[in-house]
């Protein structure tokens, strides 16, 4: 987020966390006739606004590699569906990862008989960044962009070069002392979204990673991420049950906030949030 939006920390209250609405975005996909095997990496992210004017806003991120004459129209369709579903402030950014990225549009326009429509969104082309910029950046995601850029520009023996670049990033992450969660997230992103053409390179990457980490943090990283997801889901289920019980007590009894909190084992603040609709 801070790489895509230079002023992210001034605009978004990142300390309050964020939520990926992948399932919701998939339900709104404007081209249901696309082949099911097509891989999409578009994201809809719920983040909180720092200035307090809205409780939360939506950030739509779309990744586009090849020229698509309907791309701008699809961006607009996404906007319409997200607006219709949430009616919240929305900012959108299209990340162009193909060689013709600079030719791709930054808006959708339609005009007919005095009715004009212009939908303009942010764009970022990975080829706009120089290698020097990406290498000097303190944002580790810049290193991921550097690998993606090399993958785009290199024509031959691509897997070998990708392997070399991925290992450079892995070494940098460990040597610079980033927290485990950030390292895991970036390595998982590399594993899932910047893929080798030949699967055997995945095994080579894991083996090399073992050497870098002293066989302490191997790509059991992937298992670790899965484990964290299970924990996250469990917590959400538990919270949903707590909300349901509190709502039932609020509507079906005249118990005080303190008594409901004591009965359900949640905090008084939690009961108040349910009462006021914040949960």
Local structure of residue 179 (DSSP, 8 states):
-
Least confident stretch, 4-13, 98-107, 122-131: 98-107
Q: Average of pLDDT values for 251-266?
A: 79
Cβ partners under 8 Å of residue 187, min gap 6: 170, 173, 209, 219, 221
Residue partners of 116: CB distance under 8 A and separation at least 6: 109, 110
Of the ranges 22-26, 160-164, 249-253, 265-269, the best mean pLDDT one: 249-253
**What does the pLDDT read at residue 35?**
43
Write down the architecture of domain 1-128 according to CATH.
3-Layer(aba) Sandwich (3.40)
The mean pLDDT of 132-150, rounded to a whole number, is 81
Query: 46-56, pLDDT tens digit by residue?
Result: 888 888 777 77
For residue 27, pLDDT over 80 is answered with: no
Full-model pTM: 0.62
The 10s digit of each residue's pLDDT in 180-217 is 777 777 777 677 666 677 878 878 888 887 777 776 55
Amino acid 267: pLDDT? 77
pLDDT surpassing 60 at residue 238: no
Segment 169-176 mean pLDDT: 78
Q: Model confidence at 114, in pLDDT bands (50, 70, 90)? A: very high
**pLDDT band per the 50, 70, 90 thresholds, residue 39:** very low
Secondary structure E strands in the chain = 18-20, 43-47, 57-64, 90-96, 107-112, 115-120, 122-125
Nearest Cα to Cα of residue 128 among 98, 107, 159, 168: 98
Measure the CA–CA gap between 100 and 127, rounded to whole angstroms: 9
What are the structural domain ranges in the chain? Answer: 1-128, 131-218, 236-275
The 3-state DSSP class for residue 50 equals: coil
Which residue in 36, 44, 128 sits closest to 78, CA to CA? 44
Question: Tokens 């993958």 appear where?
Answer: 151
Highest mean pLDDT range out of 33-42, 188-197, 229-238? 188-197
Specify which of 75-84, 109-118, 268-277 reaches the highest per-range mean pLDDT.
109-118
DSSP conformational letter for 180: H
Per-residue confidence (pLDDT) for residue 233, from 0 to 100: 57
Strand partners, 209: none
């Amino acid at each position: 987020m801070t790489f895509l939006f230079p002023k992210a920390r001034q605009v978004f209250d990142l300390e309050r966390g964020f939520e990926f609405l992948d399932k919701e975005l998939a339900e709104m996909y404007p081209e249901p006739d696309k082949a099911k095997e097509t891989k999409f990496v578009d994201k809809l992210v719920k983040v909180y606004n720092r200035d307090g004017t809205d409780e939360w806003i939506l950030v739509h991120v779309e990744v586009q590699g090849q020229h698509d004459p309907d791309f701008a129209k699809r961006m607009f369709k996404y906007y319409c569906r997200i607006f219709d579903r949430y009616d919240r402030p929305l900012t959108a950014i299209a990340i162009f990862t193909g060689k013709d990225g600079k030719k791709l549009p930054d808006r959708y326009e339609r005009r007919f008989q005095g009715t004009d429509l212009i939908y303009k969104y942010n764009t970022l082309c990975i080829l706009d960044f120089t290698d020097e910029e990406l290498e000097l950046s303190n944002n580790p995601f810049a290193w991921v962009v550097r690998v993606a850029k090399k993958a785009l520009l290199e024509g031959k023996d691509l897997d070998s070069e990708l392997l070399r670049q991925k290992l450079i990033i892995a070494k940098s992450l460990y040597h610079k002392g980033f927290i485990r969660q950030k390292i895991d997230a970036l390595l998982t992103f590399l594993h899932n979204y910047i893929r080798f053409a030949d699967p055997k390179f995945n095994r080579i990457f894991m083996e090399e990673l073992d050497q870098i980490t002293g066989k302490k943090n191997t790509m059991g990283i992937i298992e670790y991420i899965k484990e964290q997801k299970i924990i996250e889901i469990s917590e959400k289920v538990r919270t949903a049950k707590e909300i349901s019980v509190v709502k039932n007590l609020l509507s079906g009894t005249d118990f005080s906030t303190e008594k409901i909190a004591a009965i359900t084992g949640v905090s008084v603040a939690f009961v108040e949030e349910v009462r006021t609709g914040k949960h």
